[in-house]
Amino acid sequence: MATRNKNKMCEFEALLAEHIEGIELLSLDDVGIVGETPETGTTFEENTMIKARAAAAESGYLSIADDSGLVVPALGGEPGVRSARYAGCEGSPAERDRANNALLLKNMAGIKDRYAEFVCCIACAYPKGGGEGDFVVTGRVSGEILCEPRGSGGFGYDPLFWYDELGKTFAELSPEEKNKVSHRAVAVMALAEKLKEIKRIRELLC
Protein backbone atom coordinates (compact mmCIF):
# COMPACT_ATOMS: atom_id res chain seq x y z
CA MET A 1 0.00 0.00 0.00
CA ALA A 2 1.38 3.38 -1.03
CA THR A 3 1.52 4.99 2.39
CA ARG A 4 3.69 5.37 5.48
CA ASN A 5 0.75 6.44 7.64
CA LYS A 6 0.41 3.86 10.42
CA ASN A 7 -3.14 4.95 11.30
CA LYS A 8 -4.19 4.46 7.70
CA MET A 9 -2.47 1.05 7.45
CA CYS A 10 -4.22 -0.21 10.59
CA GLU A 11 -7.60 1.01 9.37
CA PHE A 12 -7.18 -0.54 5.92
CA GLU A 13 -5.95 -3.87 7.31
CA ALA A 14 -8.94 -4.10 9.65
CA LEU A 15 -11.39 -3.21 6.89
CA LEU A 16 -9.94 -5.53 4.25
CA ALA A 17 -9.68 -8.43 6.70
CA GLU A 18 -13.48 -8.35 7.02
CA HIS A 19 -13.84 -9.10 3.31
CA ILE A 20 -10.72 -10.97 2.14
CA GLU A 21 -9.29 -13.80 4.22
CA GLY A 22 -5.52 -13.92 4.65
CA ILE A 23 -4.74 -10.64 2.92
CA GLU A 24 -1.47 -8.97 3.90
CA LEU A 25 -0.69 -5.30 3.37
CA LEU A 26 2.85 -3.95 3.06
CA SER A 27 3.64 -0.27 3.47
CA LEU A 28 6.17 1.73 1.44
CA ASP A 29 8.61 1.30 4.32
CA ASP A 30 8.05 -2.47 4.38
CA VAL A 31 9.18 -2.80 0.74
CA GLY A 32 12.04 -0.31 1.03
CA ILE A 33 10.59 2.51 -1.05
CA VAL A 34 12.05 5.88 -0.07
CA GLY A 35 10.91 9.34 -1.05
CA GLU A 36 7.43 10.57 -1.79
CA THR A 37 5.46 10.57 -5.03
CA PRO A 38 4.31 14.12 -5.86
CA GLU A 39 0.53 14.41 -5.85
CA THR A 40 0.19 16.47 -9.01
CA GLY A 41 -3.42 15.57 -9.79
CA THR A 42 -6.34 17.94 -9.37
CA THR A 43 -8.80 15.27 -8.21
CA PHE A 44 -8.78 12.47 -5.64
CA GLU A 45 -9.00 9.94 -8.49
CA GLU A 46 -5.94 11.33 -10.28
CA ASN A 47 -3.79 11.52 -7.16
CA THR A 48 -4.59 8.02 -5.97
CA MET A 49 -3.79 6.47 -9.36
CA ILE A 50 -0.50 8.39 -9.56
CA LYS A 51 0.54 6.96 -6.18
CA ALA A 52 -0.63 3.41 -6.89
CA ARG A 53 1.16 3.18 -10.24
CA ALA A 54 4.38 4.60 -8.81
CA ALA A 55 4.33 2.08 -5.94
CA ALA A 56 3.55 -0.82 -8.29
CA ALA A 57 6.37 0.10 -10.66
CA GLU A 58 8.94 0.44 -7.89
CA SER A 59 7.88 -2.49 -5.69
CA GLY A 60 6.87 -5.06 -8.30
CA TYR A 61 3.72 -5.80 -6.29
CA LEU A 62 0.06 -5.22 -6.99
CA SER A 63 -0.36 -1.87 -5.26
CA ILE A 64 -3.19 0.13 -3.82
CA ALA A 65 -3.25 3.77 -2.80
CA ASP A 66 -5.90 6.03 -1.42
CA ASP A 67 -6.52 9.72 -1.55
CA SER A 68 -9.02 10.85 1.00
CA GLY A 69 -10.26 14.21 2.06
CA LEU A 70 -12.98 16.49 3.23
CA VAL A 71 -15.14 18.39 0.77
CA VAL A 72 -17.16 21.38 1.99
CA PRO A 73 -19.38 22.79 -0.79
CA ALA A 74 -19.84 26.10 1.06
CA LEU A 75 -16.07 26.60 0.79
CA GLY A 76 -16.00 25.79 -2.91
CA GLY A 77 -14.97 22.19 -2.25
CA GLU A 78 -12.14 22.97 0.15
CA PRO A 79 -10.09 21.47 1.68
CA GLY A 80 -10.48 18.84 -1.07
CA VAL A 81 -7.27 17.32 -2.41
CA ARG A 82 -5.33 19.62 -0.07
CA SER A 83 -7.03 18.19 3.04
CA ALA A 84 -3.84 16.79 4.58
CA ARG A 85 -1.85 19.98 3.97
CA TYR A 86 -4.66 22.53 4.19
CA ALA A 87 -2.95 24.78 6.74
CA GLY A 88 0.56 24.25 5.36
CA CYS A 89 1.82 22.95 8.72
CA GLU A 90 5.06 20.93 8.57
CA GLY A 91 4.86 19.50 12.10
CA SER A 92 3.88 16.06 13.39
CA PRO A 93 0.65 14.41 12.21
CA ALA A 94 -1.11 15.56 15.39
CA GLU A 95 0.15 19.13 14.89
CA ARG A 96 -0.96 19.12 11.26
CA ASP A 97 -4.40 17.88 12.28
CA ARG A 98 -4.80 20.65 14.85
CA ALA A 99 -3.67 23.31 12.37
CA ASN A 100 -5.96 22.01 9.63
CA ASN A 101 -8.96 21.88 11.95
CA ALA A 102 -8.27 25.38 13.24
CA LEU A 103 -8.11 26.78 9.70
CA LEU A 104 -11.29 24.96 8.71
CA LEU A 105 -13.16 26.44 11.69
CA LYS A 106 -11.81 29.89 10.87
CA ASN A 107 -12.94 29.62 7.25
CA MET A 108 -16.35 28.28 8.30
CA ALA A 109 -17.02 31.13 10.74
CA GLY A 110 -20.43 32.65 10.08
CA ILE A 111 -21.39 30.05 7.47
CA LYS A 112 -24.79 28.45 8.13
CA ASP A 113 -24.58 25.73 5.47
CA ARG A 114 -22.18 23.32 7.16
CA TYR A 115 -22.83 20.26 4.96
CA ALA A 116 -19.68 18.28 4.17
CA GLU A 117 -18.57 14.99 2.65
CA PHE A 118 -15.67 12.74 3.42
CA VAL A 119 -14.45 11.20 0.15
CA CYS A 120 -12.11 8.24 -0.28
CA CYS A 121 -10.79 7.07 -3.65
CA ILE A 122 -8.74 3.87 -3.81
CA ALA A 123 -6.70 2.96 -6.87
CA CYS A 124 -5.32 -0.48 -7.64
CA ALA A 125 -2.43 -0.80 -10.10
CA TYR A 126 -0.57 -3.76 -11.56
CA PRO A 127 3.26 -3.71 -11.67
CA LYS A 128 3.62 -4.74 -15.32
CA GLY A 129 0.23 -3.98 -16.80
CA GLY A 130 1.06 -0.72 -18.50
CA GLY A 131 -2.13 0.67 -17.00
CA GLU A 132 -4.32 -2.15 -18.30
CA GLY A 133 -6.63 -3.45 -15.60
CA ASP A 134 -5.90 -0.60 -13.19
CA PHE A 135 -9.03 0.79 -11.53
CA VAL A 136 -10.37 3.27 -8.98
CA VAL A 137 -13.26 2.88 -6.53
CA THR A 138 -14.85 5.67 -4.49
CA GLY A 139 -16.60 5.90 -1.12
CA ARG A 140 -18.48 8.88 0.31
CA VAL A 141 -20.18 9.73 3.59
CA SER A 142 -22.21 12.84 4.38
CA GLY A 143 -22.19 14.93 7.54
CA GLU A 144 -21.84 18.43 8.93
CA ILE A 145 -18.97 20.50 10.30
CA LEU A 146 -19.41 21.41 13.97
CA CYS A 147 -18.35 24.74 15.46
CA GLU A 148 -15.92 23.04 17.84
CA PRO A 149 -14.18 19.65 18.03
CA ARG A 150 -15.69 16.71 19.89
CA GLY A 151 -14.12 13.36 20.73
CA SER A 152 -10.59 12.05 21.06
CA GLY A 153 -10.55 9.15 18.60
CA GLY A 154 -9.75 9.00 14.92
CA PHE A 155 -7.54 11.52 13.18
CA GLY A 156 -7.68 14.33 10.64
CA TYR A 157 -11.00 16.17 10.61
CA ASP A 158 -12.83 13.46 12.58
CA PRO A 159 -13.45 15.66 15.68
CA LEU A 160 -15.35 18.21 13.56
CA PHE A 161 -17.32 15.82 11.34
CA TRP A 162 -20.80 15.22 12.74
CA TYR A 163 -22.43 11.97 11.58
CA ASP A 164 -26.14 12.41 12.21
CA GLU A 165 -27.18 8.77 11.81
CA LEU A 166 -25.23 7.81 14.95
CA GLY A 167 -25.46 11.19 16.67
CA LYS A 168 -21.69 11.46 17.08
CA THR A 169 -18.62 12.93 15.46
CA PHE A 170 -16.29 10.48 13.75
CA ALA A 171 -13.87 11.08 16.64
CA GLU A 172 -16.52 9.85 19.09
CA LEU A 173 -17.10 6.59 17.24
CA SER A 174 -15.40 3.39 18.31
CA PRO A 175 -13.11 1.85 15.67
CA GLU A 176 -15.76 -0.82 15.10
CA GLU A 177 -18.49 1.78 14.55
CA LYS A 178 -16.35 3.87 12.24
CA ASN A 179 -15.27 0.87 10.19
CA LYS A 180 -18.92 0.20 9.33
CA VAL A 181 -19.87 3.66 8.09
CA SER A 182 -16.80 5.65 7.05
CA HIS A 183 -15.98 6.78 3.52
CA ARG A 184 -12.96 4.51 3.69
CA ALA A 185 -15.15 1.56 4.69
CA VAL A 186 -17.43 2.14 1.69
CA ALA A 187 -14.46 2.38 -0.67
CA VAL A 188 -12.71 -0.67 0.81
CA MET A 189 -15.89 -2.73 0.42
CA ALA A 190 -15.98 -1.80 -3.27
CA LEU A 191 -12.25 -2.60 -3.57
CA ALA A 192 -12.71 -6.00 -1.92
CA GLU A 193 -15.55 -6.91 -4.26
CA LYS A 194 -13.46 -5.90 -7.27
CA LEU A 195 -10.45 -7.92 -6.08
CA LYS A 196 -12.61 -10.98 -5.42
CA GLU A 197 -14.10 -10.66 -8.90
CA ILE A 198 -10.61 -10.51 -10.43
CA LYS A 199 -9.58 -13.57 -8.39
CA ARG A 200 -12.62 -15.54 -9.61
CA ILE A 201 -11.90 -14.64 -13.25
CA ARG A 202 -8.27 -15.73 -12.91
CA GLU A 203 -9.33 -19.03 -11.34
CA LEU A 204 -11.70 -19.67 -14.27
CA LEU A 205 -8.94 -18.94 -16.79
CA CYS A 206 -6.39 -21.22 -15.12
**CATH number (domain holding residue 126):** 3.90.950.10
What residues are labeled active site?
67
Output the pLDDT for position 33. Answer: 85
174 located within any domain: yes
Q: Can you give the pLDDT at residue 111?
A: 96
Burial 4-29 (b: 16+ CB within 10 A, else e): ebeebbebbeebbeeeeeeeeeebbe
* Residue-level pLDDT at 206: 52
**Lowest pLDDT segment from 91-95, 116-120, 134-138, 148-152:** 91-95
**Residue 108, domain extent:** 6-205
The pLDDT of residue 205 is: 54
Question: What 3-state DSSP class applies to 175?
Answer: helix
The 10s digit of each residue's pLDDT in 47-56 is 999 999 999 9
Q: Would residue 95 count as lying in a domain?
A: yes
Q: Indicate the residue type of 107.
A: N
pLDDT at 202: 61
1, part of any domain: no
Please state the pTM of the whole predicted model.
Answer: 0.85
* Number of domains the chain is built from: 1
